[in-house]
Amino acid sequence: MLFSSYTFLFQFLPATVLAFAAARRHSPRAGIMVLVGASLFFYGAWRPVYLLLFAASVAVNFALGLRMEDPLRRRGIGTFGVALNLAWLCYFKYTNFIFDSLNTLTGAPLPFVNIILPLGISFFTFQQIAYLVDVMRGARVERDIVSYTLFVSFFPHLIAGPLVHHAEMIPQFKRGRTGRSAVLAARGLAIFAAGLFKKVVIADNLAQFVSPVFAHLDAGGGVTTPWAWLATLAYTLQIYFDFSGYSDMAIGLALLFGIRLPVNFRSPYQATSIIEFWRRWHITLSRFLRDYLYIPLGGNRLGEQRRYVNLLVTMLLGGLWHGAGWNFLVWGGLHGIYLSINHLWRGWRGSKPEVSMAGLVVKGACWAITFFAVVVAWVFFRAKTAAGAWQMLEGLFGAEAGSSAYASPGILRLMDLPMLVGEQRLLLIGGGAVALALAMALCLPNVPQLFRYREYRRAPERAAWVRWRPNAAWALLSALALAISLFGMWQRLEFLYFQF
């Protein structure tokens, strides 16, 4: 069930909101029970049989947590639990990748195993690994199965994040306060509308300049330089608006129930360094990789050389988390190298951040280098084959002039309504759309800033030059965003991050 589907918006969500409101009048605990039921239904609606797998994962991790109350057995059980989760994830996500790689390397005839990847497995497995690791480190064991289940299964973040932390979710389920529910719901509705607009109107319309080109390259074709740039830049913006739109929708939906999710994006393309980029892009994954991989590996405490090795390993595994493929590994490796270079540069220049020292031109150059590096890395992330990625790079730098026969024959699809405009005009329109989307990503405040969103037990976001207020003008804007998005929903394109 997609957030941007009629079934979700007009059946599941209203029913859940009404049931939650009615239950909350009885008791906060009843409201939480409703959310658990709704979340399990939400997951089961995809493939009922996989609900059993999901429930088993939750039950096993909860039981392991309880057994870890014994300090003598804590480390052993915790290690076993983490290994079990990793094995579970490995089986579903990486079996065929491992077999395929072994086939290529050794020629061993290992079979292709027909495994259906459970939705959101990377997210709910990592959340539970973090829980077990924290309990190993001395965090309090959760004894309430209802709160624990909701922490893992809460439907706004269940399928594609944000990756939530038990310490920022479970306490919220145990509060009895309902005093500002309508205030939060109003803000939640507006944030949801903004997220839906970003996904359905911006990201989905950019997809038409991306998918046919990459499909053509993956099939062994070539690409002209203008189309290569258009497709790559369009994908750069598509994935941002798609994933950040999804995260905004998740945050807005959670607010409808008075729950605060962590922020996942803070205008990443405004970053003037790769280090800053990773503080703004998929923040909850970066946080997880830092706390549960990079720091346990030694972080920067074991010397400079080890730091770069740790960075590289962390980013390689971060890439692999996104998907079982060499392209994701290359993408992660590239970002590991970028980060290492960035840290080396900072070490060479001193610890002061470059922005404060530099003038506008230097800042602009820093931004351009960062953005360019990110764009190049996206080529590997998007292409399904290594050959396709190389073809795209050759196209970007004019090394090989392909044909443009892959592009739809001059057909523009506005909210999926087709119009014949001719190929040259399509290229111009695509360029304009990319420029407009980039301007929005660079010049407009991000959704947390716009709504002065406050994460759980954190200060509100820094105020921006434009700020949401619950008045008539913003009601109209939200209404327009929702109304336009409702038309775009007939495209039924999935969220890009569902595959991870």
Partner 1 sequence: MRGLSISQRGPSLRVQAASARWIAAALAMTLAAWLAAVAGLLAIANRVHDDVPALLAIKLPLLQSRPELIFAGESRTVYQVDPNLAARLIGRPPGTVVNIAYDAGEPLALLSAIRRQPDRFRQARVVVSVAPFLFNEGVRSAAVYPQDVAARLGVAGQMRSFLPLRVGTLIRFIREAFGARLAADQHVADLGPAPTALGLNIIDRTQPDDRWPDKIGSHAHYADWDLSGPKSRFEIGALCDMVALVRKLDVVVPPWAPRYDRASDPAWRDKDDQYAALVADAGRRCGFAVINIQSIPGLEQGNYADEMHVNASGVPIYTSYLVSRLKR
Assigned token pair, 202: 């911006």
Where are the alpha helices (H) located in 107-178, listed in sequence order? Answer: 121-136, 145-153, 155-158, 166-173
Q: Give the number of other Cβ atoms within 10 Å of residue 453's Cβ.
A: 23
CB of 110 to partner 1, least distance (A): 34
Residue 455: other Cβ atoms inside 10 A: 15
Catalytic residue among 157, 166, 216, 322: 322
Q: Angle at Cα 353 formed by Cα 328 and Cα 163, nearest 5°?
A: 40
Question: 182 or 463, CB closer to partner 1?
Answer: 182
DSSP string, 331-349: HHHHHHHHHHHHHHHHHHH
**Shortest distance, position 84 Cβ to partner 1, whole Å:** 40
Residue reference for tokens 């109350």: 69
Nearer to partner 1, 369 or 415 (CB): 415
Coil, helix or strand at residue 164: coil
CB of 187 to partner 1, least distance (A): 8
As a whole number of angstroms, the distance between CA 135 and CA 141 comes to: 6
Considering the complex, what minimum distance in angstroms separates the CB of residue 474 from partner 1?
8
Cα separation of 378 and 206, whole Å?
15
Shortest spacing between CB 421 and partner 1, in angstroms = 10
Question: How many CA atoms, within 13 angstroms, populate the side-chain half-sphere of residue 138?
Answer: 0
For the record, the structure tokens of 113 come out as: 């195993």
Return d(Cα 322, Cα 263) in angstroms, integer. 19
The minimum distance between CB 486 and partner 1, in angstroms, equals 6
- 97 or 474: whose CB is closer to partner 1? 474
Q: Which is nearer to partner 1, 267 or 478 (CB)?
A: 478
CA distances from 213 to 171, 234, 240, 484 (A): 47, 11, 19, 27
What are 252's two structure tokens? 């807005």
Q: Is residue 322 annotated as part of the catalytic site, yes or no?
A: yes
Cβ proximity to partner 1: between 11 and 104 the closer is: 11
Q: Nearer to partner 1 by C-beta: 416 or 455? A: 416
Shortest CB 367 distance to partner 1, Å = 36
CB 198 to partner 1: min, Å: 17
Structure token digits, residue 92: 């579903």
Distances (CA, A) of 486 to 169, 281, 440, 483, 489: 31, 27, 21, 5, 5
Q: Token pair for residue 146? A: 């209802």
Q: Which residues contact 471 (CB under 8 A, 6 or more apart)?
A: none
Compare residues 60 and 475 and give the one whose CB is closer to partner 1: 475
Site residues (CB under 8 A) for partner 1? 179-183, 185-186, 189-190, 193, 409, 411, 416-420, 469-472, 475-476, 478-480, 482-484, 486-487, 490
State the SS3 of 249-278: HHHHHHHHCCCCCCCCCCCHHHCCCHHHHH
In DSSP notation, 196-223 reads: HHIIIIIIHHHGGGTHHHHHHHHTT---
Question: Hey, how many other C-beta atoms are within 10 angstroms of the C-beta on 349?
Answer: 11
Residues designated as active site:
322
